[in-house]
Structure 1
Amino acid sequence: MSESSKSKLSLKLNPSPTLQCKNLHEYLKSRTPQFLETLYNYPTICLAVYRELPELARHFVIRLLFVEQPVPQAVVASWVSQTHAKEQSKACEALSELSVWQEAPIPGGLPGWMLAQSFKKNLKVALLGGGRPWSMSSSLEPDGKARDIAFLDAYALERWECVLHYMVGSAQTEGISADAVRILLHAGLMTRDAEDGSAVITKAGFQFLLLSTAKQVWLFLQHYLHTAEKRSLSAAECLAFLYQLSFSTLGKDYSTEGMSNNMLVFLQHLREFGLVYQRKRKAGRFYPTRLALNITCVSDAAGPGPLLSAGQARGHLVLETNYRVYAYTHSSLQVALLGLFTELLYRFPNLVVGVLTRESVRQALRGGITADQIIHYLEQHSHPQMLKSESGGIRATSVLPPTVVDQIRLWEAERNRFTYTEGVVYNQFLSQADFTALRDYARAAGVLTWQSERTRTALVTRAGHDDVKRFWKRYNKT
């Protein structure tokens, strides 16, 4: 009888991880009910959660806000017509995930809904007034060295770009704190090199650099909150203070009087990251910057942040149909970002010229950046002149040349044209009959991945290998 020689082929596909930037709803959904209960003791958080709820969920909350007893679930369902059943289901799911309401029994055994007591109480405070005043609401004497909005924007940009410069390995890394480095490592945006122990950027870090500023700050702060307990800080108290800042007025100074020692420590960390400006540590006042006010603007539709380098236009990139990219900027950070997916050709004091090539884009793809992220970055930072480009009467969905956009996607598709399956190869059959018998058995069992009659080779899945192996042993004994 013939024998088969089996060689194992293990091919694994390791897709690049996609960096997830959770909004407030997704972030809170991942926390424990006990944490949410603590969080709802702060009116600012209750107001922020209410604003993030779906429209129909907000409608339910308002209707139940002044009801002191459970309302039958059937009654709540009757508030919405059947044509909007899907929206109703999403609203109920959101309220349950965030522990905004809870199931409560009604006399007679009917199920009912009732708002969580702490959420109801503190949302009333936020909407109607009352409660304890915010610690930062104390009145202040006029500041003799008041800072205007332009100064605050420049300060926030300088401090935040210090973090980004560190990530891209730029020489301009003076002033970054050890705490910020620890957060970057904890978030997986950077890792320690095995040889010299230096911090190097990861695939997730490449994706992080192409996010909008608001998303970057919010993602960074999420990981800060995850490690807050190690600094003897309360994550709930820190998050509440962040949302107090988000409701503040840009350009106005606020008092530190009445703030606890922990919050004063947290304030210094925010100062290092550029979310607040404080002239000196013991100053009795601070100014929230635009970074603090924009932590809620993390939706996909959110455009680039308003923080821009001095002298840099809102859009500074021009992309031509010959794949050349012209960047009108003198920011070394913008140049480093451009170098992630282009081949840089020339650099002048206020202009950088690069070209999109197959190899430069594939290098970015290997680093974990997707074609959509490259295209989105180019669209976000397109020069206003790109909006005036002629399209030959064709209605374009993007300001970028469609040929370049299509080519970037095709370069990405090149890497995805193969589907990898882990399996076992059966070959070197001594007769066609032996090959046919094993192939037909594997096909009938639904574990045959590929076969070639000419070379007498069959590939079966890893899960089906043991079954096919037992069949082959039985077949050889007959």
Structure 2
Amino acid sequence: MDDRKGPDLTIVYKIRPIGDPHPGTDTCADQDTSRLNDMSSLTTKLACRNLHQYLSDLPPAILDALYENPATCMAVLRELPELAKHYIMRILFVDTPIAVPAVSSWVTKDAKNDHKEAINILCELRIWAQLSLKGGLPAYSLSDMFRSSLKKALLGGGHLNAAGAQLEPDKHAKTPDSLEKYASERWEVLLHYLVGTQMAAVSGDIKDLLIQCGLMKIGEERDNVFITAKGFQFLLLDTPTQVWFFILEYLEWIRKRGMNLVPILKFLFELSFTSLGMDLPSDGREEHVIQCLQHLREIGLIFQRKRTSRRFYPTNLAINLVNRQSLSFVNAKSKGFIIAETNYRVYSYTTSDLQYAIMSLFCDMLYRFPNLCIGQMTRESVQMAVSHGISAEQILHYLRANAHPDMLKNTPILPQTLEDQVRLWEMERDRLVYQEGVLYNQFLSQQDFELLRNYAQELQALVWQNEAKRYMVVNKLAHDQVKKFWKKHKRDNT
């Protein structure tokens, strides 16, 4: 090779067994192994914010606009800490600012931490504002808009609903029981779609939302979508938490689509102060609220006979949304129904099609009876679940969380052999690591090889080396920088 040229460069994929670095590799390879071990130990966590955390992240203009709605102020008040509620009610009818020392005197020394937390929350939500009195004394002032709307909510005034329309009695009024059944069925359709049930179908908007919030991902074929590790963890949540998480993701989704968030949030707060079996008008509402109503109708928060109907009924999912009270309908996941044995067989005493579909994500289903389904956990079934992003720990957590009362008597709940085998099946897929890099070879001298290798080490970009054959692999992202260094070195020597 001509001495004026650099080493030969080839893009390669470095395959290295985990925990068994190639002889002659340097500390950079050990760092790669450490990073991979860290990655394998990560578990997907659902970030489910509460109402206070969500509202405090909104722009001030949106937050101020929300406080024009009495229902919003009541919902915010209901979710505040007890001490914060006391502070608001204490100065609700006091129009002048309250000095900071005066507010501090309202609590004893033992409650200073609670006092500080309450003040911080009130200020973050822009309910209280800090200002200075004459002479520079710091003080707190209650938001005029929040004060006015909360007075209206507590003392009466204004329309019951945002549309302000009045409805005639419904000849086909829905009963609370029928609304609960409808809400349960519609929400289960969403969960069935999440686990891949063939008969379950959702609209394109809901499908896009599931992908955007990370509960599902697109497969190799564009039409195929699969549940993710985050989605599997979503299935383990109780129904009120599932609905709350989904609505938070839905609100972010509509913001990205350019829809007006303020009327939609006001609409959701309005629903939370209705009662089961009460009907509301759909006429007179904003266009974006009408679109939101159809999305909520699809997932069971709203019952509406048809899109053009002038009335709709909030279900228990919508009414209990903000305060997240326990739902009254029976949830199969709340009762233990699973027995797992040391031969990796899983017995599920349930009539729920959804639980059958969840089990089929990591089991080969063998038998199904009216109140019992039997599955077999195998190497192939567990590794298929892992390939879709479901971790071994999430599978084991699902089995523990739904363990039959007879299994709960055992310590530990699951057989240790089953737990170990599931983890081993997961680790089998991670014995090899594929890392893209650039191969440098055909060095004319050992000095040139060592110079370039040392530089790559300084960048922490050296993936692999063979000093005897003068081979080295550099991380592809650092290739341009290493190449520039080599050209500069040759140019300076020339």
Query: What TM-score range do you get, normalising by the shorter chain?
Result: 0.7 to 0.9
| Aligned-pair CA distance for 1:338 | 1.4
Q: Which runs of 5 or more residues in structure 1 are unaligned?
A: none
Q: Is contact 2:79–2:323 with CA below 8 Å preserved after alignment?
A: no
Structure 2 CA distance for partners of 1:352 and 1:119, relative to 1, 3 Å: same
Q: Which residue of 1 aligns with 2:126?
A: 99
| Aligned-pair CA distance for 1:330 | 3.4
Q: Equivalents in 1 of 2:311, 2:486: separation in Å?
A: 81
The question of 1:390 aligning with 2:416 is answered no
Fraction of identical pairs, as percent: 43
The question of 1:24 aligning with 2:24 is answered no
Q: Equivalents in 1 of 2:176, 2:7: separation in Å?
A: 81
Q: Which residue of 1 aligns with 2:22?
A: none
Q: Equivalents in 2 of 1:286, 1:227: separation in Å?
A: 24
Which of 196, 202, 216 is equivalent to 2:242? 216
Q: Which residue of 2 aligns with 1:131?
A: 157
Q: Which residue of 2 aligns with 1:337?
A: 358
Which of 5, 8, 20 is equivalent to 2:8? 5
Q: Which residue of 2 aligns with 1:254?
A: 278
Q: Is contact 1:218–1:295 with CA below 8 Å preserved after alignment?
A: yes
Q: Equivalents in 1 of 2:85, 2:357: separation in Å?
A: 44
Aligned ranges 1:135-154 → 2 under 5 Å: 135=161, 147=175, 149=177, 151-154=178-181
Task: Letter of the 1:319 partner, please give it.
Answer: A
The question of 1:291 aligning with 2:294 is answered no
Structure 2 CA distance for partners of 1:350 and 1:85, relative to 1, 3 Å: same
The question of 1:325 aligning with 2:346 is answered yes
The question of 1:200 aligning with 2:220 is answered no
Q: Which residue of 2 aligns with 1:47?
A: 74
The question of 1:349 aligning with 2:370 is answered yes
| Aligned-pair CA distance for 1:42 | 2.1
User: For the aligned residues, what is the CA RMSD?
Assistant: 5.0
Q: Is contact 1:162–1:172 with CA below 8 Å preserved after alignment?
A: no
The question of 1:439 aligning with 2:453 is answered yes
| Aligned-pair CA distance for 1:438 | 3.4
Task: Letter of the 1:334 partner, please give it.
Answer: Q
Q: Which residue of 2 aligns with 1:240?
A: 266
Q: Is contact 1:155–1:274 with CA below 8 Å preserved after alignment?
A: yes
The question of 1:33 aligning with 2:60 is answered yes
Higher relative contact order (CA 8 A, sep 6+): 2
Structure 2 CA distance for partners of 1:261 and 1:63, relative to 1, 3 Å: closer
The question of 1:379 aligning with 2:400 is answered yes
Q: Equivalents in 2 of 1:258, 1:125: separation in Å?
A: 23
Structure 2 CA distance for partners of 1:142 and 1:424, relative to 1, 3 Å: closer
Task: Letter of the 1:107 partner, please give it.
Answer: K
Q: Equivalents in 1 of 2:458, 2:258: separation in Å?
A: 62
Structure 2 CA distance for partners of 1:426 and 1:308, relative to 1, 3 Å: same
Task: Letter of the 2:8 partner, please give it.
Answer: S
Q: Equivalents in 2 of 1:440, 1:232: separation in Å?
A: 52
Q: Equivalents in 2 of 1:335, 1:446: separation in Å?
A: 48
Structure 2 CA distance for partners of 1:257 and 1:386, relative to 1, 3 Å: same
Task: Letter of the 2:175 partner, please give it.
Answer: R
Query: How many residues end up aligned between the 2 structures?
Result: 460
Q: Is contact 1:210–1:377 with CA below 8 Å preserved after alignment?
A: yes
Q: Is contact 1:154–1:307 with CA below 8 Å preserved after alignment?
A: no
Task: Letter of the 1:321 partner, please give it.
Answer: T
Task: Letter of the 1:200 partner, please give it.
Answer: V
- Scaled by the length of structure 1, the TM-score of the pair is 0.72
- Scaled by the length of structure 2, the TM-score of the pair is 0.70
Q: Equivalents in 2 of 1:324, 1:235: separation in Å?
A: 49
Aligned ranges 1:115-130 → 2 under 5 Å: 115-126=142-153, 128-130=154-156
Task: Letter of the 1:23 partner, please give it.
Answer: N
Structure 2 CA distance for partners of 1:105 and 1:355, relative to 1, 3 Å: farther
| Aligned-pair CA distance for 1:306 | 4.6
Q: Equivalents in 2 of 1:141, 1:470: separation in Å?
A: 79
Q: Is contact 1:212–1:305 with CA below 8 Å preserved after alignment?
A: no
| Aligned-pair CA distance for 1:279 | 7.3
Q: Is contact 2:184–2:329 with CA below 8 Å preserved after alignment?
A: no
Q: Which residue of 2 aligns with 1:315?
A: 336
Q: Which runs of 5 or more residues in structure 2 are unaligned?
A: 15-31
Which of 186, 193, 216 is equivalent to 1:159? 186
Task: Letter of the 2:76 partner, please give it.
Answer: V
Which of 358, 362, 366 is equivalent to 2:383? 362
